[in-house]
Amino acid sequence: MRTPEVSFRLDGKSAFIIGGATGIGKAIATSMLAHGATVYIGSRNVEVGERASAEMGSVFVPLDVTDSGSVDAAVDRVVSLAGRLDIAVNSPGGRLNKPAELTTDEEWRDVFNVNLDGIFRAARAQGRVMLEQGVGSIVNVASMSALAVNTPQTQSAYNASKAAVVMYTKSLAAEWAPRGVRVNSISPGYTATAMTEKSRAEPAKLQAWLDLTPQARVAEPWEIAGSALFLASGAASFVTGHNLVVDGGYTLW
Ligand SMILES: NC(=O)c1ccc[n+]([C@@H]2O[C@H](COP(=O)([O-])OP(=O)(O)OC[C@H]3O[C@@H](n4cnc5c(N)ncnc54)[C@H](OP(=O)(O)O)[C@@H]3O)[C@@H](O)[C@H]2O)c1
C-alpha cells in the first residue's frame, strides 16, 4: 500500500472557532482559512466579529459561552450553514489577577464560567454533532498556566481553570476516541494579544516574564496558530488527549 502523504491541508472541512475574532483565536482562524477550511468564528461582540470576518473571509456567528442555549444555537447554525462540523477550536477566555485570599466567590465563578464551563458547553455541543458524523477534531485553548504558576502576578482562579481544561480535554479524548472524535488542547505561553496588553506595558512585569522565558520574548499570535492547525489536521490523525505546550520554553524552568 502506498503511504499516504502527510498533509496539514483542511480543504473541504468546516471549522468553528470560538474566540476567533481576536488574538490567538483569530490567528488560528486565519491559518485554517489559508489551509483551505471554511471558517466560522463565534464570540459576543458583534461589531468586532463582523469586522474580523469581513477582513478574513470567515462567517461570524454570535454566541456567549456562559449560556448553553446560545452555544447550542450557534453550533446548530454552523451545521445548518456548512452541512457538517469537522473542526472546532475553543479559545474563549478571561483572566483575573488577584491574590488568592482576596478572590471573591463571584470572581472565581466568573473565571470558571468562561474558561472551563464555556469549553464544557462548547465541546458538548460540538461533540454531539461530531459523534453523530463519526468523525471530528476539537482543539481547546488551555494555557501554560495549567502547568506552571505564573509570577509576579497572582492568578489562582485562572491557573486552576486552565488545569481543568487540560484534564477535561483528556477525559473527552478517552471517551470519544472509539467513536472517531479526537480532542486535544494547546497551552500557549505569554502572547501579544489584548489579554496581556496592560501587563506588557508594565516594564518590570514584562521583564520578569522575559527573564522566566528561555526564548526571552513573548509570542506573536500566529506563532501559536500552527499548533492548533496541526492538531486539527489529518497530520495528527493518531494524536488525541494531548496538551501541546507552545511557550518559548517557559515551563522548562
Ligand atoms: N495571551 C496570552 O498570553 C495567553 C496565554 C495562554 C493562554 N491564553 C488563552 O488564549 C485564549 C485566547 O486569548 P487571547 O490572548 O487571544 O485574548 P483575547 O483576544 O481577549 O481573546 C479572548 C476571546 O474570547 C472571547 N470571549 C470571551 N468571553 C466570551 C464569552 N463569554 N463567550 C464567547 N466568547 C468569549 C472574546 O470575544 P468577546 O469578548 O467578543 O466575546 C475574545 O475573542 C484564552 O483562552 C486565553 O486564556 C492566552
Element spanning 105, H or E: helix 105-115
Residue 7 corresponds to which cell in the numbers above? 498533509
Q: What mean pLDDT value characterizes the chain? A: 97
Asked if CATH classification 3.40.50.2300 holds for the domain at 14-247, the reply, yes or no, is no
Ligand 1 atom at minimal distance to the Cα of residue 190: 3
CA dihedral of 244, 248, 252, 253, whole degrees rounded to 10: -150
> Which residue owns the Cα nearest ligand 1 atom 17?
195
- Residue 96: what pLDDT? 96
State yes or no: pLDDT of 249 exceeds 80: yes
Residue 187 corresponds to which cell in the numbers above? 497551552
Residue 251 confidence class, pLDDT cut points 50, 70, 90? very high
- Residue 5: what pLDDT? 87
**Half-sphere exposure (Cβ direction) of 63: Cα atoms closer than 13 Å:** 34
State yes or no: pLDDT of 3 exceeds 90: no
Question: For residue 178, is the peptide bond before it cis, meaning its omega torsion is within 30 degrees of 0?
Answer: no
Mean of pLDDT values over 60-77: 98
The tens digit of pLDDT for each residue in 105-148 reads: 999 999 999 999 999 999 999 999 999 999 999 999 999 999 99
- Residue 150: what pLDDT? 96
The tens digit of pLDDT for each residue in 8-37 reads: 999 999 999 999 999 999 999 999 999 999
Task: Yes or no: say if 42 and 61 are a contact pair by the CB < 8 Å rule.
Answer: yes
Q: Whose CA is closest to 247, among 215, 207, 200, 211?
A: 215
- pTM beyond 0.85: the answer is yes
Known catalytic membership, residue 158: yes
Q: Give the start-to-end residue ranges of the domains of the chain.
A: 14-247
- In order, the DSSP letters of 17-35 are EETTTSHHHHHHHHHHHHT
Mean of pLDDT values over 75-84: 98
- Residue 2: what pLDDT? 83
Catalytic residue among 158, 168, 190, 250: 158
The tens digit of pLDDT for each residue in 185-232 reads: 999 999 999 999 999 999 999 999 999 999 999 999 999 999 999 999
Residue 1 confidence class, pLDDT cut points 50, 70, 90? confident
Residue 246 corresponds to which cell in the numbers above? 507552545
What burial class does residue 198 get, using C-beta atoms within 10 Å of its C-beta: 0-12 exposed, 13-18 middle, 19+ buried? exposed
**Half-sphere exposure (Cβ direction) of 88: Cα atoms closer than 13 Å:** 33
Beta bridge partners of 137: 87, 182
Which residues, 6+ apart, have CB-to-CB distance to 226 below 8 Å? 31
For ligand 1, whether the C-beta of 244 sits within 6 Å is no
The pick from 44, 46, 95, 162 for probing ligand 1's pocket by mutation, whose C-beta has the most ligand atoms within 8 angstroms, reads 44
For ligand 1, whether the C-beta of 143 sits within 6 Å is yes
